[in-house]
A and B are shown apart, each in its own frame.
Chain A
Amino acid sequence: MNKADFLDKVRSSLHRKASDIVAPAPNLLATIKDFKPSSLVKQFQEEYEAVGGNFHLVKSKKEASEKVLEIIKDSKAKSFVFSNDKLIKSIVAKIAIPEAKIISDADIGISSAYCLIANTGTLVLESSVGRLASLLPASHIAVVKDEQLVPTMAEAIEGLDSLPSAWVQATGPSRTADIELTLTIGVHAPGVVDVIMIK
């Protein structure tokens, strides 16, 4: 079916002709009220931990770098990959294990985030720095800054000129409940997720 016929069918179903002018969208945007704590950092941490993520608050980039090394050491990962973030490049320079040649072989992926949504404990990942480093490995570490926090998704999308080809809101580890609604962590995407926040 071609576009014109398809749209004509929809129009005639609505008993309208192509020339009919339609009403504009209703302007009735609801506000999403939610538990509002005194600090976005605290709210993010609570929500992120509630969905099974690990949260680390650090004071400097140097401390963040040390935390990354510590997590990698404890995880016994053999190789890593990282996304094309400025913040990440300087941090990964000190990592002792080798960078994986193929992303899907890596045990740990390191990235930053576009922003963080406090009321749901969500990382916003976007495609311009690459999609796979935060997706293929079984563990994901995100190094972020507290100034990247926004209260809700509404603020995250406010004032966006255009969207990246992929805008992904990641909330905690990959999970499923497809077998008897029993929560199981780590299906296709990272099952272990850490956020290191520089304050």
Chain B
Amino acid sequence: MEISTHDFKNNAKKALKDKNLQIAMKRATKTFVAKREKAISSLDNFEELRSYCGAVKAHTIEHLDYYLEEFISNLENLGVNVHFAADGEEANKIVTQLALEKNVKTVVKAKSMVTEEILLNDALEAVGVEALETDLGEYILQLDGDFPSHIIGPAMHKTKEQITKLFHEKLGSKEDASIIELTAVARKVLRKGFLKADMGISGANFAVAETGSIVLVENEGNIRLTTSLPKIHLTVMGLEKIIPRLKDLPAFLTILPRSATGQKASSYVSLITGPKKETDPDGPEEQHVLIIDNGRSNILADPKLRDALRCIRCGACLNICPVYQNVGGHAYGWVYPGPIGSVLDPGLLGLDSTHQLPQACSLCGACGEVCPVKIPLPELLLEHRQRAVKQGLSAKAEKIGIGAFAFMATHPKLWNSATKIGRLGSQFLSREGHIKGSKIPVMKEWLKERDFKTPAQKSFREQWRNLKDEK
């Protein structure tokens, strides 16, 4: 996808007018939120687990050099080929070279946000390797030339009607196919892909340093197929996916599905530890792991923002966010949308092109409350906003407005006369005790959706003085 984080305002405007998107978003986010709440309430120590998982992740990030090294050396001992990439370009070069060297014609892919980040599919297609997305949501998007709008429900911006039409046109399914029929069609088409694929590419939900295991969480079974059928399995992962020990995993697997889809357990959790053993009847003969930086070490080097690397990509902060619920994921203009995207994207891409994102927030704090690893999202959003102002990136009108306010507020005489004029003037704009925001001549955009109570005719100080005089 083309990055358009700099254009959030226009993207959001368009999104609000998109009728299909509005239908899909209302249906989806409400369901997600309700399911999560139910799953969390059935657990009597969710807060304890949140604190634990947050602390484990924070500790791991603070000692990432140590745990990465442990993880890598365990992979090497297992006979896994480990690769490293500083950025997307290098990562794509490594994958395409590997594919060509191994004479790979078809790759089956499990859902992976990091491969969306680096546009791996385009790179593979460019060297003549077919890359087939196998997660149903991702497959729908690939058929439509579209891109994900949610971390775990990539196609949630599409209505059932749109998908039925798409499948009818591209795959020849019935014009009025049900969701069950659509799923069956996808199974059939993708099964053929699985059976002919030479390489499977997956992401990683967690990487266990102590054992060299890649942990993958899913519901469809496409990840099991991706990591079992092709002769070569490649994991592409960001460097922050590490957890120290195997015994840390049960806690994470308790909070992740509950926070993400509202399930007690996902249908399948796979721990992949090395390639097929000699005595195993099946499984990939070769395993590769590609660890990617792509801007993450910038976030790591920034002690104030480092907490963002704890993220386990559950999507709970997206679903609960009133802005995300209305504009959907595409408006944010990159792979990571919603509150966590507004925190990560400036770290990964730089604030210059992303400073509108942390502004897309009402500071309601809901994201911070639902985060299963206790990332202080509201504080990090504010941190980005402060930096944007310091770097002179804030909107012109805001700069003038705040500047004027600061000047007035530090000059009491001016302040008094200006507020008096304001109070008098406001009486003319008032209708039944309220002023429509759109009638106020300054900060039109901000005031458009806001109405105010008409200010009192006299200020508190004036009223106080009068009261004293009466006595």
From A3, A163, A176, residue with most partner B Cβ within 10 Å: A176
Contacts of B220 in A (CB 8 A): 174-176, 187-189
From A47, A51, A163, A164, residue with most partner B Cβ within 10 Å: A163
Bound CA span A25–B243, Å: 10
Cβ of A76 < 8 Å from any Cβ of B? Answer: no
Interface size classification for chain B = 35 or more
Known: A132-B228, A135-B225. A104 touches B195 (CB 8 A): yes
Q: Which of A137-181 contact B (CB under 8 A)?
A: 152-154, 157-158, 160, 162-181
Cβ of B163 < 8 Å from any Cβ of A? Answer: yes
Cβ of A59 < 8 Å from any Cβ of B? Answer: no
Question: What per-residue 1/0 map shows which CB atoms of A81-114 lie under 8 Å from chain B?
Answer: 0001000000000000000000010000000000
Instruction: Give the Cβ gap from A137 to chain B, nearest Cβ, in Å.
Output: 11
Bound CA span A152–B272, Å: 20
Contacts of A2 in B (CB 8 A): 84
Contact of A7 among B62, B68, B246, B268 (CB under 8 A): B68
Bound CA span A136–B222, Å: 10
Known: A128-B280, A165-B275, A166-B227. A188 touches B134 (CB 8 A): yes
Are B267 and A175 in contact, with the CB atoms below 8 A? yes
Contact of A9 among B27, B59, B244, B297 (CB under 8 A): B297
Cβ of A16 < 8 Å from any Cβ of B? Answer: yes
Question: What per-residue 1/0 map shows which CB atoms of B106-143 lie under 8 Å from chain A?
Answer: 00000000000000000000000000001111001000
Q: Which of B144-158 contact A (CB under 8 A)?
A: 153-156, 158
Are B86 and A1 in contact, with the CB atoms below 8 A? yes
Contacts of A25 in B (CB 8 A): 59, 244-245
Are A30 and B85 in contact, with the CB atoms below 8 A? no
Question: What per-residue 1/0 map shows which CB atoms of B237-266 lie under 8 Å from chain A?
Answer: 001000011111111011000000100111
Bound CA span A24–B213, Å: 20
Cβ of A65 < 8 Å from any Cβ of B? Answer: no
Contacts of A12 in B (CB 8 A): 301
| B274 nearest CB neighbor, chain A only | A165
Bound CA span A184–B184, Å: 10
Question: SS class of chain A's interface: helix, strand, loop or mixed?
Answer: loop
Are B48 and A30 in contact, with the CB atoms below 8 A? yes
Bound CA span A104–B195, Å: 8
Known: A13-B300, A130-B282, A171-B267. A181 touches B27 (CB 8 A): yes
| B280 nearest CB neighbor, chain A only | A127
Cβ of B279 < 8 Å from any Cβ of A? Answer: yes
Are B44 and A84 in contact, with the CB atoms below 8 A? no
Cβ of B369 < 8 Å from any Cβ of A? Answer: no
Q: Which of B1-48 contact A (CB under 8 A)?
A: 24, 27-28, 31-32, 42-45, 48
Mark the stretch among B175-183, B412-420, B446-454 that contacts chain A.
B175-183
Known: A33-B45, A179-B136. A164 touches B246 (CB 8 A): no
Instruction: Give the Cβ gap from B41 to chain A, nearest Cβ, in Å.
Output: 12
Cβ of B291 < 8 Å from any Cβ of A? Answer: yes
Bound CA span A165–B282, Å: 10
Contacts of B49 in A (CB 8 A): 30, 32
6 tightest Cβ-Cβ pairs between the two chains A and B: A189-B221, A178-B137, A30-B52, A13-B301, A188-B221, A120-B265
Which residues of A are in contact with B by a Cβ distance under 8 Å? 1-3, 5-7, 9-16, 22-23, 25-26, 28-35, 47, 51, 84, 104, 120-122, 127-132, 135-136, 152-154, 157-158, 160, 162-182, 184, 186-190
